[in-house]
Structure 1
Amino acid sequence: MPRLMLTDEHWSKLKPILLQQRIYDKADLRMTVEGILYRIRTGCQWRDLPDAFGHWNTVYTPGRPRTSW
């Protein structure tokens, strides 16, 4: 499992902000955000994310509209 960045305190503050922006409150939202932060921190490609963050095609699906973020 990769090192995570969000403490419970940080997540408790960030989650309401994401939900205000109409981000879908899926069960693995926190891990999705952690995956984004991991990618930013390491500079890796989406497909090179560790499996703990899910499959990289779940981030973007061709033909579907983009999310608000």
Structure 2
Amino acid sequence: MTVFNRLVEDPDTEWLFIDGSYIKAHQDCTGAATKEVEAIGKRRAGNTSKIHLAVDAYGLSIAFRITGGDVHDSTEAQALIDELPTGGALVADKGYDSERIREQVDA
């Protein structure tokens, strides 16, 4: 994460954008002998991960989280929004449309 934080030295926070994207994982990706969380979920399409990303007005990454593909956008929104700098406007799709998220953004 330190690498991503260094990419944006002076973010343009007039507009902030958040969204999530699925990444299909290889069929043999699970089952590693580790106690670490692997952020791989089971879905109809198979093994997937999901990147929850926030970018500034230039499209540069400000914050991100990686979860299993079975995690909905709205469940990661609070943690992602907490990492954002104060900005002018936050743009998100319908996956983030809830009263709880609107209240967090307005606070």
Q: Same fold (TM over 0.5)?
A: no
Q: TM-score, normalised by structure 1?
A: 0.33
More strand by share: 2
More helix by share: 1
Q: Whose Rg is larger? A: 2
Q: TM-score, normalised by structure 2?
A: 0.24
